[in-house]
Amino acid sequence: MQVVVWDLPLRLFHWLLALCVTGALVTVSLGGNWMVWHERFGLAVLGLLTFRLVWGLVGGTYARFSNFFPTPSRVSCYLRGQWYELGHNPLGAFSVFAMLALFSFQALTGLITNDDVAFYGPLTRLVSSEVGALVSGWHRSTEELIYVVIGLHILAIVIYRLRGKKLVGAMLHGRKESEQALKPDPHSGGALALSIALIIAIGMVWLAWGSWIPAPPPAPAVPAW
Kindly state the helix (H) or strand (E) to which residue 73 belongs, with its residue range.
Answer: helix 72-79
- By beta-carbon proximity to ligand HEM, the closer residue of 19 and 196 is 19
**Residue 88 sits in the site that holds ligand HEM (CB under 6 A):** yes
Residue 128 makes CB contacts below 8 A (sequence gap 6+) with: none
Residue 221 makes CB contacts below 8 A (sequence gap 6+) with: none
Q: What is the C-alpha radius of gyration for the chain, rounded to an integer number of angstroms?
A: 21
Q: Which stretch binds ligand HEM (CB under 6 A): 75-83, 95-103, 179-187, 212-220?
A: 95-103
User: Residue 3 pairs with which residues in a beta bridge?
Assistant: 176
Residue 73 makes CB contacts below 8 A (sequence gap 6+) with: none
CB of 72 to ligand HEM, least distance (A): 19
Site for ligand HEM in 27-46 (CB under 6 A): 28, 38-39, 42-43, 45-46
Q: Which stretch binds ligand HEM (CB under 6 A): 24-32, 77-85, 189-197, 213-221?
A: 24-32
**Residue 18 sits in the site that holds ligand HEM (CB under 6 A):** yes
- By beta-carbon proximity to ligand HEM, the closer residue of 167 and 200 is 167
Q: How would you label 107-130 residue by residue, b for 16+ Cβ within 10 Å and e otherwise?
A: bbbbbbbbeeeebbbbbbeebeee
Q: Which stretch binds ligand HEM (CB under 6 A): 71-79, 148-156, 190-198, 214-222?
A: 148-156
**Residue 65 sits in the site that holds ligand HEM (CB under 6 A):** no
User: Residue 4 pairs with which residues in a beta bridge?
Assistant: 175
Whole-number Cα distances in Å, 209 to 46, 122, 140, 198, 201: 11, 6, 20, 16, 12
Residues that bind ligand HEM (CB under 6 A): 14, 17-18, 21-22, 24-25, 28, 38-39, 42-43, 45-46, 52, 88, 92, 96, 99-100, 103, 106-107, 110-111, 113-115, 119, 121-122, 136, 139-140, 143, 146, 150, 153-154, 157, 167-168, 171
